[in-house]
Chain A
């Protein structure tokens, strides 16, 4: 068994790294694009300080559109775009394009939902202070949902690990890909179990770290 493991190790290392790249890029983009998008969805909502039916409506529809497409379809659908962007449709970086596109609306909705939990009165008090919309977002909304943002990132990361397996199925690489190629197609139970255990450990670690950070930033 140890022999089997040692033979598998280089492949496992490579896959692990690929998964990390995919999840990291997806998370990064989710944070950079999804976070502002989520805040935009929130502040343009009814009775909020930047209420705007059009922006809210259009953004909402786009977000739902992306979210309603099954990931594996999205992946294929985005091939031309991926090709245009990174020059190839295989490999972890190429897979990251679709992962990012899926992660943006996913995280945006989580951000929006945690912002909705803020006591509206606090925002109202800030408006009554004469604060500008930007100051309210930066200084009231953001700190109030910081913990929720981290929990949301944790959820997104774990979902991305799941999605990355699908990306692997069409040439993206990663642990999921390994599991499917060896474990599923070749009936190699050893590889199957090893990869599954690795995935379980990965998810547990992310959840643990995420919970810890979310708790750490929560004050008061």
Chain B
């Protein structure tokens, strides 16, 4: 659907060059929700804005459905942009227009007739659940409602792709959830491809099929969302994963523990198996559960389990080895100084 080849974006200031996007090659498949994660300044926003040429890449290629966007004339580019919806963190609604007029504006851009504009705008407002707000002004709406209006506007011309620039970052957690649900709904019902950028891993976990992690203008890791959570490779990816999966055991607990603290990670089907109870039955060890949690990512379970094992050293070691064959195991140090990594260190 969207294919990006060796894209670079360099910003030239008076005395130096700032590299926004550094040689990125990636593909977004039709119908998927693709997330790009990174801290601010990582270049994700630049990359996204290059996808509809809001920013012109310094070099590289951007193709949408086989059309090379950089080769288009201004007029052709405007037509192409009508098939790429975009929503923003700050909503960017015209404050002097009503909700209906804001949505209708996008239709005006594609030269839809007056009557049809109104009909279609109302239909879109219905889709985002705001039909009763048609004649209100943006100032009268809440943040979540404003984002719904901007989604309606972005969908007006039946786009193939929806670009979301930190679309939920300005919203509270509840509203974020409802906007994500809406995005998921339009993704499924309209078959719309969605590319979103965010610094919240929670958003990725919630709706993305695949995701990429960006740092200093480069994509450092890319893959299916579940795999990224279950088997992260890059340090930055691990750090992002932690923000969602992380838990902190009290320092005192770790320091005063007499046993061995074992952190286990269950992926896929294993999350449903009785690994722990087997361990306790088969070896002469006692287990004290410190933490346990199962996350569902793309409807697949990802379990985290922390248990304190006490018993003879040898038995404990054997017990750990036996589990290691099935799940990822990490023995946590007692001083509490080392921050545990949910990724697990073999």
Interface residues, chain A, with chain B CB atoms under 8 Å away: 119, 121-122, 124-132, 135, 139-140, 143-144, 146, 218-220
Cα separation A126 to B93 with both chains bound (whole Å): 9
Q: Which of A125, A140, A218 contacts B150 (CB 8 A)?
A: A125
Q: Which of B74-114 contact A (CB under 8 A)?
A: 77-82, 84-86, 88, 90, 92-97, 105-106, 108-110
**Contact among A122, A127, A130 for B93, CB-based, below 8 A:** A122
Q: Could you say which residues of chain A place their CB within 8 Å of the CB of B110? A: 130
Q: Is B144 an interface residue (CB 8 A)?
A: no
Instruction: Indicate whether B137 reaches chain A with its CB closer than 8 angstroms.
Output: yes
Cβ–Cβ < 8 Å partners of A125 in chain B: 86, 88, 92-93, 150, 153
Give which listed residue, A127, A129, A132, A143, contacts B97 with CB less than 8 A: A143
Q: Can you give 12 contacting A-B residue pairs, CB < 8 Å? A: A119-B90, A122-B94, A125-B88, A125-B150, A126-B94, A129-B81, A129-B105, A130-B78, A130-B157, A131-B109, A135-B108, A144-B94
Q: Which of B54, B108, B140 has the most CB of A within 10 A?
A: B108
Given contacts A121-B88, A220-B137, contact A130 B96 (CB under 8 A): no
B139 on the A face (CB < 8 A): yes
What 7 A-B pairs come out closest when comparing CB atoms? A220-B137, A130-B81, A125-B92, A121-B92, A131-B109, A130-B82, A128-B86
Q: Are A220 and B96 in contact, CB atoms less than 8 angstroms apart?
A: yes
Contact code string B117-146 (vs A, CB < 8 Å = 1, else 0): 000000000000000000001111000000
- On chain B, the residues within 8 Å of A144 by CB distance are 94-96
A220 and B105 contacting across the interface, CB-CB below 8 Å: no
Q: Which residues of B contact A (CB under 8 A)?
A: 52, 54, 77-82, 84-86, 88, 90, 92-97, 105-106, 108-110, 137-140, 150, 153-154, 156-157, 163
Q: How many A-B residue pairs have CB under 8 A?
A: 79
The reply to whether B96 and A135 contact each other, CB–CB distance below 8 Å, is no
* Pairwise interchain contact B94-A140, C-beta atoms closer than 8 A: yes
User: Known contacts A128-B84, A130-B157, A144-B94; is A220 also within 8 Å of B139 by CB?
Assistant: yes
- Distance between Cα atoms of A218 and B139 in the complex (Å): 12
Extra pairs beyond A122-B94, A220-B140 (4, CB < 8 Å): A125-B86, A129-B156, A144-B96, A220-B138
**How distant is A131 from chain B, measured CB to nearest CB, in Å?**
4
CA A121 – CA B138 in complex, angstroms? Answer: 14
Residues in A neighbouring B93, C-beta threshold 8 A? 122, 125
Chain A: CB-nearest residue to B109:
A131
Contact A132 B95 (CB under 8 A): no
A130-B81, A219-B137 given; A124·B92 CB < 8 A? yes
Cα A135 to Cα B108 with chains together (Å): 8
Chain A contacts for B92, CB-based, 8 A: 119, 121-122, 124-125
**Does B54 lie within 8 Å of A131, measured CB to CB?**
no
Task: Compute how far the CA of A129 lies from the CA of B155 in the bound complex, rounded to whole angstroms.
Answer: 10
Residue of B nearest to A145 (CB): B96
A125 (CB) vs chain B CBs: closest residue: B92
Instruction: State the Cβ distance, A137 to closest chain B Cβ, in Å.
Output: 13
CA distance A146 to B94 in the complex (A): 13
**A131/B105 in contact, CB under 8 A:** yes
Q: A122-B92, A143-B97, A219-B96 are in contact. Are A127 and B105 (CB under 8 A)?
A: no
Q: How far is the CA of A218 from the CA of B96 in the complex (A)?
A: 7
Chain A residues with CB under 8 A of B95: 122, 144, 220
Given A125-B86, A125-B88, are A130 and B109 neighbors across the interface (CB < 8 Å)?
yes
C-alpha spacing A118/B81, complex, angstroms: 22
In whole angstroms, how far apart are the Cα atoms of A127 and B85 in the complex? 11
* Interchain CA distance A125-B49 in the complex, whole Å: 11
Q: Shortest distance in angstroms between B212's beta carbon and chain A's nearest beta carbon?
A: 22
In angstroms, how far is the closest chain A Cβ from the Cβ of B46? 14
Enumerate chain A residues within 8 angstroms of B153, measured Cβ to Cβ: 125, 129
Chain B residues near A128: list those with CB within 8 A.
Answer: 52, 54, 81, 84-86, 154, 163
Interface contact A146-B54, CB-CB below 8 Å: no
Question: A139: which B residues are within 8 A, CB to CB?
Answer: 105, 108
